[in-house]
Amino acid sequence: MAQARKYIYDSLGADFLEASVLDLEIILDESESGVPLICLLSTGSDPSAQIEAMAKGRAQECKSLALGQGQEEIARRMLNEGLQNGNWLMLQNCHLSLSFCDEIMQTMMDAHNINPAFRLWITTEVNKKFPIGLLQMSLKFTNEPPDGIRASMKRTYTDITQDILDYSNHPAWSSLLYTVAFLHTIVQERRKFGPIGWNIPYEFNRADFSASNQFVMNHLDELDPKRGISWQTIQFMLGEVQYGGRVTDDYDKRLLNTFTSVWFNETVLVQGFKFYDGYTLPECKTIEEYNEFINNLPTQDIPEVFGLHGNADISYQINTVKGLLDQIIEIQPKEGGGGSAGESRESIVGKIAEDMLSKLPELYSPHEVKAAMERLGGQQPMNIFLKQEIDRMQRILKLIKVSLIDLGMAIEGTIIMSDYLKEVLDCMFDAKVPDKWTKISWSSSTLGFWYTELIQRDAQFKSWMNKGRPKVFWMTGFFNPQGFLTAMKQEVTRSHKGWALDNVITQNLITRYSKDEINKHPPEGVYIHGLFMEGANLDKRTGKLVESRQKILYEAMPVIYIYAINTASGKDNKLYSCPIYRKPLRKDINYIGSIDFESDVNPKHWVMRGVALLCDIK
């Protein structure tokens, strides 16, 4: 990607590397009354407010309607009225009513004597079933969020007028306006770093910025001069309501509140305040001065500006190129030959299937499992957990065995190649895990990693069954790690008279040992290994969090001792509560729990770094 940018720069010039700000006025001047204008929506950009503002500026009536179930009749009437009366019509979210899109196309083609002032604006998300005829007869535009802080700030300030700058006499107004704009840019830009930026990529858009601005305006208007600005109110409204209203993940909410608490306080009014080196708060009076200041911002942003470590840029580059390569693989022809020495896809996959079958672990014998449970102590919490894990593993092993045998027979022509077997064949050829397998197991980047993990998981369960409880557990190898921690808590609770499970919480101790150095069971609780840290490193001597090493994205953790205590008191605020996820995708479904780490810096630093523990990095 860097070389592509260099090539464009050398051959076409720097202008072609900068995102141009969409100018709807130019698009409108090119349009005609009989040609619809279609906006293809992208994350965080909705032109509705701009279209309405443009209509207002031209003293043109603009009616809008969001399409959906049961809205077709109203849309039909509004369209016919607009064609006659010459008002503008904006139909939003047309991808939700594709059948009506065909009708729009027909109506526009059949219409005679269209009022010259009429314009039809359509917004839609990209949809493969969108009528191609309507696309061909329309003017199409999209408004992707610009890449980089400078481009994003430039776009934000195109809609800010001198009147808005002069709105309030309060000395903090222009600084707060710029800080809200900077926050808006950072929350949007962090998305590009993937899970270390935001667990869930939210569609923060123009409306969030406008609502936040309006709130700050109102707050300064109603201010009691003696009491001054209520920073807590501003922090709460931005972090919990204006931007926080979109946020559904608890750790994302914590990150957003950290940004608002760090940037919206008394220090923002102190001269020399800066968000990061090179990103200061300007002292400007006119909109031209602000635009000039923004134009002088760095062209390339370093991850530290977003609160992240420099390694996050490597993650971003990897994710970008992976997406690019995945798309190239996706559009490769699926039929016909290919492969080495003229081998067909079928023969290549046939050999892979044979190899996988030869290495597939044996199915579990119900009698052996039952005998092992009695030997391990019967209906104890940990044994019940093990039995549930084995049941799920048995289900996967059966499915794979049947699928691979059937696939081999279908390739030979003994049975018919069903849609499911064709999907398995395509996935195995592309080294991907078939959907049906993923649904009852776990996700993985390639089939090879997935199959290796299957064999390792099975080995842990069989060792536990036959040789007794492991001294150190490989938590990555569990289908339900939360169930494992709950079983541990139940076990500890039962061993202490008078303890109630509701009052028991998990605690942890970071040891200095590797799994091979552990030679006996803990007195209570469990030892776990196999975790990786993203976003920070661990000082092996002190057990405290320190900055990541350059170019090392994931750090292997030593053995961690997890136990339970009976307490009603909360957690220590000086500790960083680090979430644990099964996979690099930090979704709720992958969340396991949290572990506390000590640190010499404020825990907010690690929140902005996006520090988390991962069971698996593939």
Largest CA distance in the chain: 89
Is residue 203 a contact partner of residue 228, using CB atoms and an 8 Å limit? no
**In terms of Cα–Cα distance, which of 176, 161, 174 is closest to 285?**
174
Cα–Cα–Cα angle for 249, 251, 252, rounded to 5 degrees: 65
Given the structure tokens 């010039």, which residue do they identify?
A: 13
Query: Which of the residue ranges 55-59, 144-148, 597-601, 602-606 would you say has the lowest mean pLDDT?
Result: 144-148
Q: Report DSSP state, residue 296.
A: T
- The helix (run of H) or strand (run of E) holding residue 326 is helix 312-330
**pLDDT at residue 360 above 80?**
yes
Is residue 383 a contact partner of residue 376, using CB atoms and an 8 Å limit? yes
Q: pLDDT at position 570, please?
A: 66
pTM value? 0.81
Q: pLDDT at position 336, please?
A: 53
Q: pLDDT at position 44, please?
A: 63
All residues at 6 or more sequence positions from 541 whose CB lies less than 8 Å from its CB, including other chains: none
**pLDDT at residue 449 above 70?**
yes
Give the chain's end-to-end CA distance (angstroms, integer): 23
Joined tokens for residue 110 = 């059949």
Classify residue 136 by burial, with Cβ atoms within 10 Å: 0-12, 13-18, 19+: exposed
Q: What is the full DSSP assignment across 67-97?
A: --TT-HHHHHHHHHHHHHH--EEEEE-GGG-
**In terms of Cα–Cα distance, which of 618, 589, 402 is closest to 479?**
589
All residues at 6 or more sequence positions from 321 whose CB lies less than 8 Å from its CB, including other chains: 1
- pLDDT tens, residue by residue, 282-337: 988 899 999 999 999 988 889 999 999 999 999 888 888 888 888 888 888 766 55
Q: How far apart are CA 302 and CA 510, in angstroms?
A: 32
**pLDDT at residue 20 above 80?**
no
Query: Which of the residue ranges 335-339, 551-555, 576-580, 591-595 would you say has the lowest mean pLDDT?
Result: 335-339
- pLDDT tens, residue by residue, 371-408: 999 999 888 999 999 999 999 999 999 999 999 999 99
- The helix (run of H) or strand (run of E) holding residue 571 is none
Q: pLDDT at position 342, please?
A: 63
All residues at 6 or more sequence positions from 490 whose CB lies less than 8 Å from its CB, including other chains: 381, 501
**pLDDT at residue 216 above 90?**
yes
Average pLDDT over residues 561-571: 82
- The helix (run of H) or strand (run of E) holding residue 386 is helix 381-412
**pLDDT at residue 100 above 60?**
yes
Joined tokens for residue 254 = 């914590």
